Structure 1
Amino acid sequence: MSTLPPKLSAAIDGVPMEYLLAGSGAPPIVLINDAGAPLEGWYKMLPALAALGTVFAYNRCGIGNSGNAREAQTGAAMMETLRALLFKADLAPPYVLVAHALGGLIANLFARSYAGEVAAVVWLDASAPEEMDARQARQGRLSQWLRRALDLAQDRDTLNETGQLSRSVEQIAEAPPFPDIPLTLLCAAPPMLPWLTSQAELDARVAGQRRLAALSPRGCRVVTAGSGHFPQLSEPELTLAAVRDALAAISPR
């Protein structure tokens, strides 16, 4: 495993939040994890990303050495914590948000709520908000058990972000429109755990991804046939290329 830079910590509303910085230059590249995932999940990409500019990665509440949440971890709560942490880290906007899976909800809401602070978005196997909400409603017994196991592992049954999906989706629907910025969505094919996914859900997933990519006039959807659910691990070069393209697209600005 590549050596990570030393981890730092800053208190946001009294809760210690763990993060790291690498590289230098603007705009900052902000990495947003999936639910329950630690910042170490970006280890394959950090050195190459640091060569492109300043890279910021962090652990959300209850992960690593970040403190437990004191409020329900809705998309808005997580977005405001991230924004406050970026300012504590002395990183000025605009940002390039690189978000994996559920982290895409945070990036989606951030770009809508603070359009002037987001220069570009790269989504890694992220789902459309309405698709995530519908998936939660359709969960089978195994999926429900996996979610409960994650809740128990994070020790935050009532505050855990996976239990706040419906409210997070509502917050995105209530937010301003997505801005006209470079947007890339890398989509896994086939999806994670295909044997648990009906054809109707697969079709809904593709339709949702196309809607996500169409949020911006400069949006595009790229199917990553060899990546699975974690393109930052299975095809880091492809993910790096998407970030590089996003930086190139905003450089004239």
Structure 2
Amino acid sequence: MLLRLTLAFVAFAISLNTYAQSRIEKINNHNIEVLQIETTKSKAIVVFENGSRETLDKWSKVIEDIKNEATIFACNRPGYGKSDETEALRDGRTIVEELRKTLQHQGSKPPYLLAGHSLGGLYMQLFARMYPQDVAGVVLVDAVYPGVIKKTADFPLYTRIAKRIFFSKVINQEIDQIFNTGEEVLALPWANKIPVERLFNVPKSAGAIAVDFGVTDSGSKLAAMVEGLYPNANTTIVDSDHQIQVANPEVVVAAIRRIMTAKAVKEPIVKTQLNGTRITVY
């Protein structure tokens, strides 16, 4: 018990230390909370995008491990953390353009290695399709994929009511646009030359190895569509929870490093195949 408490305190201290390095930047007349840690040891720039209802401190453990190997960039979207809210549409295309302008404002030049968690992963997929020339690679951490989330009009009534009651205006707007953002992703071609690392949370305790796409309709057609989006991706299955970057940051760091160095830095315990997909199981 004492060891667990000690480790929890250390993790909390790391999070506070990393988060304390963020600052407020005035961009297009809006205050945006930005974390930028530069290193001269590498030309790589790793750009992190948060999931829904999450702030940049969720990446703290990953950032601490990788900050000496690459320049780090993370920010809180409008309406998150200390960033101002905005009246702009909360669809993926608008959010990608805001992120790109923030990167430019901070003097961060491409190519970028994009790392996105959950809904942030959907935004990073769109970024890579809108600006493939600016992208060195993509790490998708238990990401949302096009078609996985239905239109909010098709949510159960109690879900729609709870969403409006318990979530902020900005978060509601983002959720309402998830389906449309997915359509924006599908409308653009994919550049196969961009390396992709996909991390999925599928606890080993669940039994046979299987990829959990988090689909609302677990039909094989939808699963096949998600699988076909990135046919050359390396897929990692980890016994974790949805917050892989918090619970198992070493797996996210390993994925980033594989793209940075074009080789694995950690031998997996198991390598196998699942429906033709390369699978790495830790």
Give the distance between the partners of 1:207 and 1:139, measured in 2 at CA: 23
Partner of 2:155: 139
Do residues 9 (structure 1) and 24 (structure 2) align?
yes
> Structure 2, unaligned stretches of length 5 or more?
1-11, 204-213, 264-282
**Among 117, 123, 131, which residue is 1:106 paired with?**
123
Residue 12 of structure 1: how far off its partner (Å): 3.0
2:36–2:74 Cα contact (<8 Å) kept? yes
Matches within 5 A, 1:66-215: 66-132=83-149, 134=150, 136=152, 139-141=155-157, 143-151=159-167, 154-156=168-170, 160-189=173-202, 200-201=217-218, 206-214=223-231
Residue 74 of structure 1: how far off its partner (Å): 0.6
The worse-fitting range, judged by mean Cα deviation, of 181-190 and 136-145 is 136-145
**1:205 and 1:54, CA in 2 relative to 1: closer, same or farther beyond 3 A?**
farther
Give the distance between the partners of 2:47 and 2:216, measured in 1 at CA: 34
The worse-fitting range, judged by mean Cα deviation, of 202-211 and 66-75 is 202-211
Rg larger in structure: 2
Matched AA of 1:52: E
Give the distance between the partners of 2:252 and 2:91, measured in 1 at CA: 27
Structure scoring higher RCO (CA < 8 A, sep ≥ 6) equals: 1
Matched AA of 1:236: P
Give the distance between the partners of 1:137 and 1:203, measured in 2 at CA: 23
Residue 140 of structure 1: how far off its partner (Å): 3.2
TM-score (norm 2): 0.76
**1:144 and 1:212, CA in 2 relative to 1: closer, same or farther beyond 3 A?**
farther
Residue 14 of structure 1: how far off its partner (Å): 1.9
1:184–1:213 Cα contact (<8 Å) kept? no
**How big is each residue's C-alpha offset from its partner over 1:13-53, in whole Å with a ceiling of 9 and x where there is no partner?**
32221111124132210010001211111111111110221
Do residues 19 (structure 1) and 34 (structure 2) align?
yes
Residue 145 of structure 1: how far off its partner (Å): 4.2
**How big is each residue's C-alpha offset from its partner over 1:78-131, in whole Å with a ceiling of 9 and x where there is no partner?**
000000001111111000000001011211111111111000000000122111
**1:150 and 1:100, CA in 2 relative to 1: closer, same or farther beyond 3 A?**
farther
Identity of aligned residues (%): 27
Residue 166 of structure 1: how far off its partner (Å): 2.6
**Among 243, 249, 271, which residue is 1:230 paired with?**
243
**1:130 and 1:48, CA in 2 relative to 1: closer, same or farther beyond 3 A?**
same
Give the distance between the partners of 2:171 and 2:75, measured in 1 at CA: 22
Give the distance between the partners of 1:246 and 1:181, measured in 2 at CA: 10
> Structure 1, unaligned stretches of length 5 or more?
191-196
The worse-fitting range, judged by mean Cα deviation, of 107-116 and 10-19 is 10-19
Aligned positions, number: 237
